[in-house]
Structure 1
Amino acid sequence: MSSTALGTGRVSTASGLDSVLERANAAQAVVQRFLARIGVPALRVSLGLVFLVFGALKFLPGVSPVEELVMRTWNALSFGLVDGYAAMAITGSLEVFVGVAFITGILLRVGLLALAATFVGIFSPLVFFAGELFTTAGPTLTAQYILKDVVLVAAAVVVAASALTRPIGRR
């Protein structure tokens, strides 16, 4: 058995260190199991809350910071058929539905499909209005607002991977 002299005159043995490491590893395993159990549900609910709140804002004229962008994007995507409050109502409805589906877990797969459609709309301005969103100084604040949604896509992928492990059918 090896030993190491400590500054206090005591001697620390390797077996004492091994015991501390074993307890630390056991504690880490408990924390890891807890995080593994709550991680995806917490991510699902928090993602749902984000979509619920931002979707609800779209029903209140003048409250959403992206109101004009949403209307212009719908106008471009629908070739002029959808704009104004209808664009806000459709977007708000989709986002609120996604939020409720994610928070409750009810119709989660349908919510994931709606979220995929929502992401098309979210990132479309980067294509339609690239000249306005990116300047020589870099992305505008609006472009940054859109680009941060890459994190939401990654979160949605994790939630989808978990939700799609069960077979389709009745419970």
Structure 2
Amino acid sequence: MTENKRNSFNPITVLRFSIGVIYLWFGVLKLFYGLSPAEQIASQTIHQLTFGFLPDHVAINSLALWECTLGIMLILCKYMKVVLLMMFIHMAFTFTPFIFFPHQTFMHLPYDFTLLGQYIMKNIIIISSGMVLWQQYVKGTPMYYASPLSEQK
């Protein structure tokens, strides 16, 4: 992909940039105690995944840095293969509260989500977007939507 094509204002760029902003925003919120609505469930989940060996404040700060790094790299369009792999790994772990804490994610199993469950389920959109970005930046598959908006008819 040429540098000119990469920097063109097109839907793929908008998609990459918007996911980057979301990651950066959510990551920054986790850096400040009490600001992130996902802080408690993230802390509980990491506690379960690490069998309590990782102190909660270290876990949240590590997650915050992971998310901020992903956000910045997506915005800058750097190391896309590594960034997207990191994103897919992160996304896989965001669904673990359904296993560890079903009482917090469902009002009635398996169809009636709590607000937290809905918050987690929206990650399907991020995963789908990541698959589109993978096709564009890693596989180099040409897409109609990768052309600048002004060129589309």
Q: Deviations over 1:74-95 (max 9, x none)?
A: 0111111124111111111111
Distance 1:83 1:145, change over 3 A: farther
- 2:41 maps to 1:69: yes
Asked which structure has the greater RCO (Cα within 8 Å, sep 6+), the reply is 2
1:51 corresponds to which residue? Answer: 23
Which structure 1 residue ranges, 4+ long, deviate > 6 Å from structure 2?
A: none
Structure 2 length normalisation: TM-score?
Answer: 0.80
- 2:68 maps to 1:80: no
2:78 corresponds to which residue? Answer: 106
* Aligned alpha-carbon RMSD (Å): 1.7
- 2:64 maps to 1:92: yes
2:143 corresponds to which residue? Answer: none
- Whichever of the two has the greater Rg, that structure is 1
Q: How does 1:1-171 map to 2 (within 5 A)?
A: 38-136=10-108, 138-166=112-140
Supply the distance in 2 between the matched residues of 1:165 and 1:140 (Cα, whole angstroms). 37
Structure 1 length normalisation: TM-score?
Answer: 0.72
**Once the 2 structures are TM-superposed, how far is the Cα of residue 52 of structure 1 from its aligned partner?**
0.6
SS for the counterpart of 1:144 is helix
Unaligned 5+ runs, structure 1: 1-35, 167-171
Partner AA of 1:151 in structure 2 = I
Unaligned 5+ runs, structure 2: 1-7, 141-153
User: How many pairs are equivalent?
Assistant: 131
